Chain A
Amino acid sequence: MNPGRTLSTASRVLRQLSHDPRTVALLFVVPPVLLTIMKYVYQGEPQVYNSIAPMLLGIFPMIMMFLITSIVTLRERTTGTLDRLLTMPITKLDFIFGYAIAFSFLGLCQALISAGVMLGFLNVTVLGGVIPTLIAVVFASFLGTSLGLFLSAFATSEFQAIQFMPAFIMPQLLVCGLFVAQDLMAKPLQWFADIMPLTYSVKAMKQVTINATWTHELTKDLLIVALFGIVALILGSLTIRRQE
């Protein structure tokens, strides 16, 4: 791996997006708008909203980064650019980590905006404070990016890549603890939730919401999220083969 090439790849990916202001606007505007709508959906139950909103803050970047990453990397595979890169001295890890850095950075920007709106205007109380909230969100973005990078290898068209969202993210969303606490679900679903990465991302957000101090649980959950992310990145790099 070569830090120069990794960072150049990250900045190239960001530059591509910067030429597409509509995508960037959607990326940054949609989550705070949804959070705002949710506030009024739960108008009669402000406590419920206060516990759900931070979880959503962790879920949005994961979903959006997953979608964007899988489409962008799929394009690299189908338009010949990856083909060309693989005849150059760049390593697969430069490529993969370049993407991971770019989208985690985007996730951070998105988190800053969404968290700002949530804490500043929507009066959601997060006992853990701003910094732990942002850290948890960046981990969630990293996870979404890694899963997108990995799973995009199994899509041969953009249609398929989009379908991976309901196929791989929705089941995780259902069991992650957003709708119903994990211990109230049927046993097999609890086991399923235990092995799904989104569960830990949501758990981390819960920890940040209810604890004023940095807990061991939080560290553990974030490490698990990071581990899932790194494993997905490594698997992702294995799906890129110089010689086919």
Chain B
Amino acid sequence: MNHSAIKISNLSVTLGGFYNALQDINVELAEGKAIGFIGPSGAGKTTLIRSIVGRIKLTSGSIEIFGLSAGDSKLRHQMSYMTQELSVYPDLTVKENLKYFATMMGHKNVNEIIKNVLQEVDMSDKANSLVKNLSGGQKQRVSLSVALIGSPKLMVLDEPTIGLDPVLRESLWKLFNKLKAQGTTLLVSSHSMDEAERCDDLILIRSGKLLAHGSPNELKRHNNTNTIEETFLKLVGDVKE
């Protein structure tokens, strides 16, 4: 097994003092893979993601990322986070957004970075457009390009392909695979099960609990199923015969 990128031990998160968003999660995730967090809406995917990027105080347990505990300031240079919301400024141009975020990350060669990340997401021709005038898929790609700044070791992407057309989704997965080949660890959440098939490693979550962890094939083999969707339904004990 490779080095682990993320090690989650006995993690529980209670939100607002009473809502058990995550309960006793234990999992170790390897470096350099595309890891899918799969589960229905409200399963706790975003809470888990926000715990990993250090935006949520853990109620108990621990999360280690590259040997540092989640929220450690050293991690801010090594990982990027794309939230479920757009998380770029609609009233700035694509270039202005990238310039600002690159400066905030502390980079000096800002122009070079902008050029590179725009090429990665195939948005170079829209560099001077205001984000608010772009289409949904283009906005999504701008948001993703911000997450590419500085070639982070870990990219945490909350529903990055939601609402995208199949062609664009395909091209983003190509990009994800390329990043993976360069050693980047990708953490991608999704509630779509066909997305899951594209990941190397999956964790299935429901009601804040870890249902299963393994590669798509492993999970299917273990559960005697043909698709991840079936696996998921079987695991939650809700199989329709």
A contact set with B: CB distance below 8 Å = 4-5, 8-9, 12, 15-16, 19-20, 78-81, 83-90, 242-244
Q: Are A80 and B103 in contact (CB under 8 A)?
A: no
Is B173 part of the contact surface with A, judged by Cβ < 8 Å?
no
A86 to chain B, nearest CB (A): 6
The yes or no answer to B226 lying at the interface (CB within 8 A) is no
**Known A80-B85, A244-B56; contact A87-B91, beta-carbon cutoff 8 A:** no
Q: A19–B88 contact, CB under 8 A?
A: no
Residue of B nearest to A19 (CB): B91
Interfacial chain B residues near A84, Cβ < 8 Å: 81-83, 87, 101, 146
Q: How far is the CA of A20 from the CA of B88 in the complex (A)?
A: 16
Contacts of A243 in B (CB 8 A): 54-57, 71
Q: Is the interface of B mostly helix, strand, loop or mixed?
A: loop
Please, which residues of chain A bring their CB within 8 A of the CB of B104?
A: 5, 8-9, 85, 88-90
A80 touches B87 (CB 8 A): yes
Are the CB atoms of B100 and A8 closer together than 8 Å? yes
Contact mask B99-111 → A, CB, 8 Å, 1/0?
A: 0110111100000
Of the candidates A8, A86, A90, the one whose C-beta lies within 8 Å of that of B55 is: A86
* A5 near B103: Cβ-Cβ < 8 Å: yes
- When the two chains form their complex, are residues B55 and A83 in contact, meaning their CB atoms are under 8 A apart? yes
Contact A83 B83 (CB under 8 A): yes
CA distance A80 to B75 in the complex (A): 19
Cα–Cα distance between A15 and B80 once the two chains are bound (Å):
24
A12–B56 contact, CB under 8 A? no
A78 surroundings in chain B (CB, below 8 A) = 85
CB-defined contacts of B84 to chain A, threshold 8 Å? 80
Q: Is the CB of A79 within 8 A of B55?
A: no
Docked complex Cα distance between A81 and B92 (Å): 12
Query: Are B57 and A87 touching (Cβ within 8 A)?
Result: no
A89-B80 Cα distance, complex, nearest whole Å = 11
A125–chain B nearest beta-carbon distance, Å: 41
Q: Which residues of the partner chain A approach B83 to less than 8 Å between Cβ atoms?
A: 80, 83-84
